[in-house]
Amino acid sequence: MDLSPECWVSDKLALLVEHTLPPSYTRDDEQAIYLWDVFSTELPVMVYRMHERVPFPHVGGTPDGRWIYYIYDRAATIISPSEGSEIRVEEVYGFAMDYIVLDGIPRCFAAWGACQLSNPEEPSRLRIAALDASEGEVRIVHMKETIIPEIRSESKISDWIKCVLISSKLGIVYVLTYESRVHLVDVGSGTLLYSTVLPEVEHGFVDDERAHMLPDGITGFLPPIFRDRDGYRLRVNEDFLIPYIRRNFKYDENLAMAISGRTGLGGAEDLWMKHYPN
């Protein structure tokens, strides 16, 4: 058995995949995913036995290892190891999973891009799903879908999703597209909060190590995006997030209140007083 580290889900937990393919490779061979506590003297623990053998799947999960997933051939299998249950979603372009506290309840959320490469005029979509396994099976309890803007509105050419990342602290999904655009989407409502084009990008990567300020309309809302050996790094300036939302979504006070209440960020105190005077 050959165990190879595939994904660090926290600073001490790693998911490993048994992926040595036998000479007589068949789809019926068993394959498994293991959870390894690197600070423990115990051997890696098998948490999921795959129904099919796939060569080098991409695996990931939540920081506590209670939810895991693997992606192969543009399909993601979402697994609750404790319940021994799973659900499968197709046509996946970029995938992320993490916990977010929504309405006072910590939930596991998954986000992924859905693109139709066969139809370039069909817009790409970001799907955000809240997951539940309390009844013994993995279920999507609610789904939000956000349309990603076209490259050029007059040409109706879709901008396909390349990478997705969830900020568990802010409850925001970051989306990076193949045309070097960054979109920020609110998990709770599916609202597209912010879009911009990465400057000085060639083939999806920043040319050098210098930081690049983004045009945002409010100084400091988005600090520099820069690239290191791990890829892009992007961080929202929390002090400007709620004021930015209130300025750009004036007629949706609930959005600013929801994000402020979820994150504890200031900037919506007067709205709370207005709606809940007592």
- Residue 264, sorted as left (phi over 0), alpha (psi -120 to 50) or beta, turns out to be left
- Spell out the per-residue pLDDT of the chain, length 278, in tens: 455 556 777 777 888 887 544 444 444 456 788 888 878 888 888 888 887 777 777 888 998 889 999 988 888 999 999 888 899 998 898 899 999 988 788 899 999 998 776 676 778 899 999 999 988 889 998 899 998 876 554 545 567 888 888 888 889 998 888 877 888 999 989 999 988 776 554 444 333 333 333 333 333 344 445 455 555 566 677 888 888 888 888 888 899 999 998 888 888 888 888 888 86
Query: Residue 69 has what pLDDT?
Result: 92
Distances 262 to 26, 44, 238, 252, 265 between C-alpha atoms, Å: 48, 36, 13, 16, 8
Predicted pLDDT at 120: 67
SS (H, E, C) the chain: CCEEEEEECCCCEEEEEECCCCCCCCCCCCEEEEEEECCCCCCCEEEEEECCCCCCCEEEECCCCCCEEEEECCEEEEEECCCCEEEEECCCEEEEEEEEEECCEEEEEEEEEECCCCCCCCCCEEEEEEEECCCCCCEEEEEEEEECCCCCCCCCCCCCEEEEEEECCCCEEEEEECCCEEEEEECCCCCEEEEEECCCEECCEECCCCCECCCCCCCCCCCCEEEECCEEECCCCHHHHHHHHHHHCCCCHHHHHHHHHHHCCCCCHHHHHHHCCC
pLDDT for 86:
92
pTM of full prediction above 0.75: yes
Q: Cα–Cα distance between 161 and 163 in angstroms, integer?
A: 6
d(CA 176, CA 205): 11
Residue 181 CA to residue 213 CA, distance in Å, equals 14
* pLDDT for res 80: 93
- Residue 132 has a pLDDT of 93
Q: CA–CA separation, 156 vs 197, rounded Å?
A: 18
